[in-house]
Structure 1
Amino acid sequence: MRILVNGAPHEVASSTLDTVLVELGYTQPRLATALDGQFVPATRRPAQALRDGMRLEIVSPMQGG
């Protein structure tokens, strides 16, 4: 299926949010995710189904000072 990830098109085989994150290489434990503008908490990712054309935003924390 084709989805937008942080504004860029991606072809993915996975059908749930947690497996798409792994497929795309996002393995760090702390991430913020949103689908079509709606926040998706980590506890809902395994059950969150994806559909063709969805917009996924992924934000990971940055260290700095």
Structure 2
Amino acid sequence: MNILINQAAAELPPAATVSDAIAHAGARPPFAVAVNLQFVPKGRYEQHALAEGDRVEIIAPVTGG
């Protein structure tokens, strides 16, 4: 399936979850995830199935002053 991860095209297997997208992106904690602008709680990464065309945003916190 074709999705966008942080606005970049990515191809994942048909039954991919948010966890698969995180692994594909190589993201390292801490981060938050949204699918189609909806926050996904960390405890739901394994269960939240993705669909063709979904937009996944993996967002790292910003620090500094």
The question of a shared fold, defined as TM-score above 0.5 by the shorter chain, is answered with: yes
Moved over 3 A (4+): 62-65
Deviations 1:15-39 (A, max 9, x none): 011122112211x232110001100
Aligned pairs for 1:20-35 within 5 A: 20-26=21-27, 28-35=28-35
Identity of aligned residues (%): 39
The CA deviation at 1:63 is 4.3
Give the corresponding residue for 1:3: 3
* Distance apart, 1:61 and its partner CA: 2.2
Q: Within 2, Cα distance between the matches of 1:24 and 1:39? A: 17
Name the TM-score, length of structure 1 as normaliser: 0.81
In the alignment, which residue of structure 2 is the partner of 1:12? 12
The code of the aligned residue for 1:4 comes to L
- C-alpha deviations, 1:1-60, integer Å up to 9, x for none? 11011222111236011122112211x232110001100011111100001100111111
Q: TM-score, normalised by structure 2?
A: 0.81
Q: How many residue pairs are counted as aligned between the two chains?
A: 64
Instruction: Write the letter of the residue equivalent to 2:54.
Output: M
Cα distance in 2, alignment partners of residues 30 and 49 from structure 1: 21
